[in-house]
Amino acid sequence: MTSAVRDVRICRGAVKAMISKEQFAEYIERALRHVEVGRLLIERQKKLVERHRLEGRDTKPAQDLLTAFEHTQEVFERDLTRLESMEK
């Protein structure tokens, strides 16, 4: 195990020790909601982009927003994964 990996594990343990199990469960629930809502927003935005394309409208603004949603979703999913790994 490298010292960086050990340091991360120590840090995770310290963070987990500083909050109650209830607070930690709330963090996980919130992260799950963010991931779920993000997926819904992305699906809706994809449909909007497609509708604009079919109507011959400029899709760039809708596509740019979709890209922002997708990047945010990556952050939400990474955060959820991190929290779930701390739970173990």
**27 in any annotated domain:** yes
Helices (H), the chain: 3-18, 21-54, 60-87
* HSE-up of residue 74 (Cα within 13 Å, Cβ side): 5
Instruction: Report pLDDT for 29.
Output: 95
Does residue 56 lie in a domain region? yes
Neighbours of 31 (CB within 10 A): 19
The answer to whether residue 10 sits within a structural domain is no
73 assigned to some structural domain: yes
Residue 2 inside a domain? The answer is: no
Q: Is residue 83 part of a domain?
A: yes
The CATH number of the domain holding residue 75 is 1.10.287
Quick one: pLDDT band at residue 3, thresholds 50, 70, 90? Answer: low
Q: Which structural domain range is residue 74 located in?
A: 19-87
Total structural domains within the chain: 1
Q: Is residue 33 part of a domain?
A: yes
- Going 21 to 27 to 31 to 36, the CA torsion angle's sign is positive
Q: How far is it, in rounded angstroms, from Cα 70 to Cα 38?
A: 8
Mean of pLDDT over the chain? 86
Window from 4-8, 27-31, 84-88 with minimum mean pLDDT: 4-8
